[in-house]
Amino acid sequence: MKLSRLLAFSDGVFAILITILVLDFKVPTYRTGHLLTAVVQQWPVLAAYLLSFMYIGILWLFHHDLFSVFAQIDRNVNLLNLLMLFAITLINYPTSLLSHTLMQHDRRDLQVAFVSYAAIALFISATFLLLYRYLKAHPELKSKQVDPELFATISYDPLRSMLIYLASIIATPFSVSLGALLLIGGIVFHFYAYLHLSRRLAV
Protein backbone atom coordinates (compact mmCIF):
# COMPACT_ATOMS: atom_id res chain seq x y z
CA MET A 1 0.00 0.00 0.00
CA LYS A 2 1.62 3.17 -1.09
CA LEU A 3 0.50 6.35 0.63
CA SER A 4 1.92 8.40 -2.25
CA ARG A 5 -0.52 6.99 -4.84
CA LEU A 6 -3.48 7.45 -2.49
CA LEU A 7 -2.48 11.09 -2.04
CA ALA A 8 -1.88 11.63 -5.78
CA PHE A 9 -5.28 10.14 -6.61
CA SER A 10 -7.05 12.13 -3.86
CA ASP A 11 -5.34 15.39 -4.82
CA GLY A 12 -6.45 14.72 -8.38
CA VAL A 13 -10.09 14.20 -7.35
CA PHE A 14 -10.08 17.33 -5.15
CA ALA A 15 -8.43 19.45 -7.87
CA ILE A 16 -10.86 18.24 -10.56
CA LEU A 17 -13.95 18.63 -8.40
CA ILE A 18 -13.06 22.15 -7.25
CA THR A 19 -12.36 23.14 -10.87
CA ILE A 20 -15.36 21.56 -12.64
CA LEU A 21 -17.72 23.34 -10.24
CA VAL A 22 -16.90 26.44 -12.30
CA LEU A 23 -18.54 24.79 -15.32
CA ASP A 24 -21.91 25.75 -13.78
CA PHE A 25 -20.91 29.32 -14.52
CA LYS A 26 -22.36 29.36 -18.03
CA VAL A 27 -23.19 32.30 -20.26
CA PRO A 28 -26.79 33.13 -19.28
CA THR A 29 -29.57 33.27 -21.86
CA TYR A 30 -30.09 36.98 -22.53
CA ARG A 31 -31.64 39.35 -25.04
CA THR A 32 -28.95 41.00 -27.19
CA GLY A 33 -27.91 44.25 -25.52
CA HIS A 34 -29.07 43.13 -22.06
CA LEU A 35 -26.19 40.90 -20.98
CA LEU A 36 -25.48 43.09 -17.95
CA THR A 37 -28.85 42.38 -16.30
CA ALA A 38 -28.49 38.67 -17.03
CA VAL A 39 -24.96 38.60 -15.57
CA VAL A 40 -26.01 40.45 -12.41
CA GLN A 41 -28.91 38.04 -11.93
CA GLN A 42 -26.40 35.20 -11.89
CA TRP A 43 -25.07 36.21 -8.46
CA PRO A 44 -26.43 32.98 -6.93
CA VAL A 45 -24.14 30.95 -9.20
CA LEU A 46 -21.16 32.89 -7.84
CA ALA A 47 -22.44 32.57 -4.25
CA ALA A 48 -22.97 28.81 -4.56
CA TYR A 49 -19.58 28.39 -6.27
CA LEU A 50 -17.85 30.40 -3.53
CA LEU A 51 -19.53 28.33 -0.80
CA SER A 52 -18.58 25.00 -2.39
CA PHE A 53 -15.05 26.15 -3.30
CA MET A 54 -14.51 27.15 0.35
CA TYR A 55 -16.02 23.88 1.57
CA ILE A 56 -13.96 21.65 -0.74
CA GLY A 57 -10.87 23.77 -0.12
CA ILE A 58 -11.21 23.26 3.64
CA LEU A 59 -11.85 19.53 3.15
CA TRP A 60 -8.67 19.33 1.09
CA LEU A 61 -6.67 21.16 3.78
CA PHE A 62 -8.14 18.71 6.30
CA HIS A 63 -7.23 15.72 4.15
CA HIS A 64 -3.76 17.18 3.74
CA ASP A 65 -3.16 17.47 7.51
CA LEU A 66 -4.96 14.27 8.43
CA PHE A 67 -2.89 12.10 6.11
CA SER A 68 0.33 13.63 7.41
CA VAL A 69 -0.51 11.68 10.59
CA PHE A 70 -0.21 8.34 8.82
CA ALA A 71 3.10 6.53 8.89
CA GLN A 72 1.57 3.83 6.68
CA ILE A 73 -1.84 2.92 5.32
CA ASP A 74 -3.68 -0.35 4.92
CA ARG A 75 -6.39 -1.56 2.56
CA ASN A 76 -9.21 -0.30 4.77
CA VAL A 77 -7.80 3.22 4.83
CA ASN A 78 -7.77 3.08 1.03
CA LEU A 79 -11.42 1.97 0.98
CA LEU A 80 -12.50 4.57 3.56
CA ASN A 81 -10.70 7.21 1.54
CA LEU A 82 -12.61 6.15 -1.60
CA LEU A 83 -15.90 6.37 0.32
CA MET A 84 -14.95 9.83 1.54
CA LEU A 85 -14.07 10.97 -1.99
CA PHE A 86 -17.40 9.56 -3.26
CA ALA A 87 -19.28 11.62 -0.66
CA ILE A 88 -17.26 14.73 -1.51
CA THR A 89 -17.81 14.51 -5.30
CA LEU A 90 -21.57 14.56 -4.66
CA ILE A 91 -21.27 18.24 -3.57
CA ASN A 92 -21.45 19.15 -7.26
CA TYR A 93 -25.17 18.29 -7.32
CA PRO A 94 -26.57 20.40 -4.42
CA THR A 95 -24.29 23.26 -5.54
CA SER A 96 -26.18 23.31 -8.85
CA LEU A 97 -29.53 22.93 -7.08
CA LEU A 98 -28.64 25.88 -4.85
CA SER A 99 -27.63 28.24 -7.65
CA HIS A 100 -30.74 27.33 -9.70
CA THR A 101 -33.24 27.68 -6.86
CA LEU A 102 -31.68 30.92 -5.58
CA MET A 103 -32.36 32.37 -9.05
CA GLN A 104 -36.00 31.17 -8.99
CA HIS A 105 -36.97 32.33 -5.46
CA ASP A 106 -39.45 29.50 -4.82
CA ARG A 107 -39.42 28.77 -1.09
CA ARG A 108 -40.19 25.05 -1.34
CA ASP A 109 -37.54 24.46 -4.00
CA LEU A 110 -34.98 26.39 -1.95
CA GLN A 111 -35.73 24.11 1.00
CA VAL A 112 -35.05 21.05 -1.18
CA ALA A 113 -31.72 22.55 -2.29
CA PHE A 114 -30.56 23.44 1.23
CA VAL A 115 -31.66 20.11 2.71
CA SER A 116 -29.84 18.24 -0.11
CA TYR A 117 -26.68 20.24 0.55
CA ALA A 118 -26.84 19.64 4.32
CA ALA A 119 -27.61 15.93 3.82
CA ILE A 120 -24.52 15.46 1.67
CA ALA A 121 -22.42 17.49 4.14
CA LEU A 122 -23.73 15.16 6.88
CA PHE A 123 -22.68 12.16 4.78
CA ILE A 124 -19.20 13.63 4.23
CA SER A 125 -18.73 14.22 7.97
CA ALA A 126 -19.88 10.64 8.62
CA THR A 127 -17.10 9.33 6.36
CA PHE A 128 -14.59 11.44 8.30
CA LEU A 129 -15.99 9.97 11.53
CA LEU A 130 -15.38 6.45 10.18
CA LEU A 131 -11.79 7.32 9.26
CA TYR A 132 -11.12 8.91 12.68
CA ARG A 133 -12.49 5.84 14.45
CA TYR A 134 -10.44 3.52 12.31
CA LEU A 135 -7.32 5.52 12.99
CA LYS A 136 -8.08 5.50 16.73
CA ALA A 137 -8.48 1.71 16.66
CA HIS A 138 -5.27 1.23 14.68
CA PRO A 139 -2.56 3.27 16.43
CA GLU A 140 0.09 1.28 14.51
CA LEU A 141 -0.78 3.33 11.39
CA LYS A 142 0.10 6.58 13.11
CA SER A 143 3.51 8.11 12.79
CA LYS A 144 5.44 8.14 16.09
CA GLN A 145 5.81 11.92 16.39
CA VAL A 146 2.09 12.46 16.68
CA ASP A 147 0.84 13.35 20.16
CA PRO A 148 -1.17 10.27 21.30
CA GLU A 149 -3.74 12.52 22.99
CA LEU A 150 -4.46 14.33 19.74
CA PHE A 151 -7.16 11.94 18.56
CA ALA A 152 -8.81 11.90 21.94
CA THR A 153 -9.22 15.68 21.60
CA ILE A 154 -10.38 15.91 18.02
CA SER A 155 -12.24 12.65 17.53
CA TYR A 156 -15.60 14.27 18.36
CA ASP A 157 -15.23 16.97 15.68
CA PRO A 158 -16.93 15.00 12.87
CA LEU A 159 -19.77 14.13 15.25
CA ARG A 160 -20.16 17.80 16.16
CA SER A 161 -20.36 18.88 12.53
CA MET A 162 -22.87 16.09 11.85
CA LEU A 163 -25.09 17.55 14.59
CA ILE A 164 -24.84 21.02 13.01
CA TYR A 165 -25.89 19.65 9.61
CA LEU A 166 -28.69 17.64 11.21
CA ALA A 167 -29.92 20.84 12.88
CA SER A 168 -29.78 22.56 9.48
CA ILE A 169 -31.89 19.78 7.90
CA ILE A 170 -34.47 20.01 10.71
CA ALA A 171 -34.56 23.84 10.69
CA THR A 172 -34.88 24.37 6.92
CA PRO A 173 -38.59 23.40 6.57
CA PHE A 174 -39.42 26.03 9.23
CA SER A 175 -36.97 28.75 8.18
CA VAL A 176 -34.78 28.65 5.08
CA SER A 177 -32.58 31.45 6.48
CA LEU A 178 -31.91 29.55 9.72
CA GLY A 179 -31.18 26.35 7.79
CA ALA A 180 -28.81 28.26 5.48
CA LEU A 181 -27.06 29.87 8.46
CA LEU A 182 -26.57 26.50 10.14
CA LEU A 183 -25.21 25.05 6.89
CA ILE A 184 -22.69 27.89 6.54
CA GLY A 185 -21.99 27.53 10.27
CA GLY A 186 -21.10 23.88 9.70
CA ILE A 187 -18.60 24.82 7.01
CA VAL A 188 -17.10 27.55 9.22
CA PHE A 189 -16.88 24.95 12.02
CA HIS A 190 -14.84 22.72 9.66
CA PHE A 191 -12.46 25.60 9.21
CA TYR A 192 -11.98 25.98 12.97
CA ALA A 193 -11.63 22.23 13.39
CA TYR A 194 -9.00 22.33 10.67
CA LEU A 195 -7.09 25.13 12.41
CA HIS A 196 -7.31 23.15 15.64
CA LEU A 197 -5.96 19.97 14.04
CA SER A 198 -3.33 21.87 12.10
CA ARG A 199 -2.02 23.65 15.23
CA ARG A 200 -1.89 20.42 17.24
CA LEU A 201 0.06 18.70 14.47
CA ALA A 202 2.51 21.59 14.25
CA VAL A 203 3.33 21.44 17.99
Query: Using CB under 8 A as the criterion, which residues of the chain lie in contact with a second copy when the complex forms?
Result: 1-2, 5, 7-9, 11-20, 22-23, 25-27, 30, 32-36, 39, 50, 53, 57, 60-61, 64, 68, 75, 78-79, 82, 85-86, 89-90, 92-93, 96-97, 100-101, 104, 106, 108-109, 112-113, 116, 195, 198, 202
Of the pair 78, 155, the CB lying nearest a second copy is at 78
User: 60 by DSSP, 3-state: which?
Assistant: helix
| Contact assessment for residue 38 and residue 28, using Cβ atoms and an 8 Å cutoff | yes
Shortest separation between residue 22's beta carbon and a second copy, angstroms? 5
Can you tell me the distance from the alpha carbon of 39 to that of 63, in angstroms, rounded to the nearest whole number? 35
Could you count the other beta carbons within 10 Å of the beta carbon of residue 113?
25
Of the pair 41, 159, the CB lying nearest a second copy is at 41
Shortest separation between residue 77's beta carbon and a second copy, angstroms? 12
Of the pair 5, 159, the CB lying nearest a second copy is at 5
DSSP secondary structure string, 13-57?
HHHHHHHHGGGG-PPPP--TT-HHHHHHTTHHHHHHHHHHHHHHH
Cβ partners under 8 Å of residue 54, min gap 6: 187
Shortest separation between residue 20's beta carbon and a second copy, angstroms? 7
